Chain A
Amino acid sequence: MVRIDGKGNGPCLVCVRNLDKIYTRGGEDIHVLQGLNLEVDAGDFVAFMGPSGSGKTTLLNLLGGLDLPTSGSITVAGDEITHMSAGKLTEWRARHVGFVFQLYNLIPVLTAFQNVELPLLLTKLSKAERRKHVETALAVVGLADRMNHYPRQLSGGQEQRVAIARAIVADPTFLLCDEPTGDLDRRSADEIMEIIGRLVKEYGKTVLMVSHDPRAAERAGVVLHLDKGVLVEAAEAGGRA
């Protein structure tokens, strides 16, 4: 169940309270997010839509602990992350968040296998255990046969699938996807959304996604619209919410 009124008092996986983010540009304050409230339960698939500059990516960065809010709080799986030190936040991110970016952001000098393995290098898993996890993640995204390929040897859709495998390999608490289909053709975009949908339905993953693409967003259980830093609308979409 997704709520944006800030009145929920039950347990939630992601709880955002009165979130403000103000940037200062050329001496002027820009209110990117204003008093935003959000509650997301485990297994939810939420899509954030809105015009450019509405604060979608900023919200995602704050939820992923990549940026700090001006005020308000974010609690994920019981951890209040807004007051964590940078070091703690990095550790927390490694354990709880899987990121998928619009431009895939793979390391070009590493193979698909090595790219997916990156988050596991920070764990205490043995080499054999890491291999098993990576192979499983690549199998989930249908790229088990391309694990030794470099990003330049893969299509855009395949690169994004590797990026998804990297995001899920450490079994994070939730996935944050920033325009995951924004750089793909229709067919590849559908494939990616299919995979993300499966992660929610079959593996019970929680996904928060930013997208400009209504067709991608309609796969989400809930579509939230952001306008001028405020969540203004919640709509039930095709999936579960």
Chain B
Amino acid sequence: MKFFRLVWANLRRKKIRTTLTIGSFLVALFLFGLLAAVRMGFRGGTDAAGADRLNVINKVSLILPLPFSYRDRLLRFPGVKAVTHATWFGGVYKDERNFFPQIAVDKDTWFDIYTDYSLSPEAREAFMRDRQACVVGRSLADRFGFKVGDRLPLRGTIWPGSWEFNVAGIYAGGRPDADTSGMYFRSDYLDEQRAFAKGTVGWYVVQLGNPDDAVRVSKDIDGLFANSPFETLTQTEKAFAASFVKQMGNIELLIMSIGLVVLLTLLLVTGNTIAISVRERYGELAVLKTVGFSDRRVLGLILAEAVLIAGQGGFIGLLLAKAVIPGLSRALPMLGVLYVSPLTFGLGFVLALGIGAAAALLPGIGAMRLKVVDALRRV
């Protein structure tokens, strides 16, 4: 601690340079926070996926339906605890830019299987009572100002026409990164009103008594419906969610590549800045050695300076990302729930410190090896 004043004084020596270097870390770690949040947004579904749930879709394509009659047959499989179903609706609220997911679900079973979301008993009761009822997520309600009792009109795209819903409740997420940007409504209402595809569902969700049975049950389900007009593809919910992400290309690789390039650039730029700063102070470092500072202590001082710069910039950058991301998440709902988790924050901060230390290592070793006599001659 007694050396802190020396480190701090050195940082204040060239205020503009120090500020700019802190700024580099700030920008880079802000970007890191942003990219990590987007990555998490894309992965959100996979991370939140239940280990005890299987998704059964049409083997040809997710957009092709499965018959409603499969439900009872799925329930008969050993190890299957419950079955529910869902259908993508794809309606437009006022303007196509107001995209949000709308899913028709089985009113009796959906919320028993998806206990991740909290819905008040009153809302659940209202949902059961009213054929046109829907529940909306908290972030969706905040986005458009929906309240319980509101009338919610949608223009159908898959099933054309005007569709009217009554907001019966607002559900919240059990986790900070839970997606509450969607709307659920009753599948019986959809089936009654739509002109085609009656008696079908988009996909089934199978809840298992024991997650260890996932492989066996998946195989059995697909085996049973093999060579039928509606062959199935059964996979864990995690794999199902991941397949959505994959449809958009390898986003994760892209994000990681951008992040890596930014951090490598930061390493080089910071390394150069610290090298210049150390070179300018050879005389002073020689004086420190003359009065008894060991080579390791000199290295420690230089590393401490770099780590302090990196820590400040990184911390502010991550804080800034944390502050900005909720707004970004609201503005770009198609990116999913963007969220800087404590783990991301911690990882980013450690990364900033690591880059600071790595950038200072070579100049620090140079200072460590500095011969006092040679350096004093240059003063």
Contacts and interface: CB of A to CB of B under 8 A. Distances in A.
B2 A105 contact: no
A110 interface: yes
B287 A90 contact: no
Interface residues of A, number: 26
Given A61-B373, A66-B373, A121-B3, A109 B292 contact: no
B291 A119 contact: yes
A61 B377 CA distance: 11
B293 A122 contact: yes
B290 A121 contact: no
A94 B10 CA distance: 22
A105 B293 contact: no
Contacts of A91: 292, 294
A142 B287 CA distance: 23
Nearest to A122: B292
Nearest to B5: A114
Given A66-B373, A101-B376, A107-B284, A118 B5 contact: no
A110 B6 contact: yes
A87 B289 CA distance: 10
Given A105-B379, A109-B9, A127 B283 contact: no
A235 interface: no
A13 interface: no
Contacts of B283: 105
B219 interface: no
Contacts of B287: 101, 105, 107
Contacts of A110: 5-6, 9
A166 interface: yes
A139 interface: no
B221 interface: no
B373 A90 contact: no
B376 A93 contact: no
B2 A127 contact: yes
Candidate in A94, A105, A118 with the most chain B CB atoms within 10 angstroms: A105
A140 interface: no
B6 A119 contact: no
A41 interface: no
Interface string B272-283: 000000000001
Contacts of B9: 107, 109-110, 114
A9 B254 CA distance: 78
Given A66-B290, A66-B373, A67-B373, A86 B284 contact: no
B295 interface: yes
Interface in A92-117: 93-95, 99, 101, 103, 105, 107-110, 114
Given A64-B290, A109-B13, A122-B291, 9 more contacts: A66-B373, A90-B292, A93-B292, A105-B287, A107-B6, A107-B287, A108-B13, A114-B6, A118-B6
17 contacts: A66-B373, A86-B295, A87-B294, A90-B295, A91-B292, A91-B294, A94-B291, A101-B287, A103-B379, A105-B287, A105-B376, A108-B13, A109-B12, A109-B13, A118-B291, A122-B291, A122-B297
Interface of B: 2-3, 5-6, 9-10, 12-13, 283-284, 287-295, 297, 372-373, 376, 379
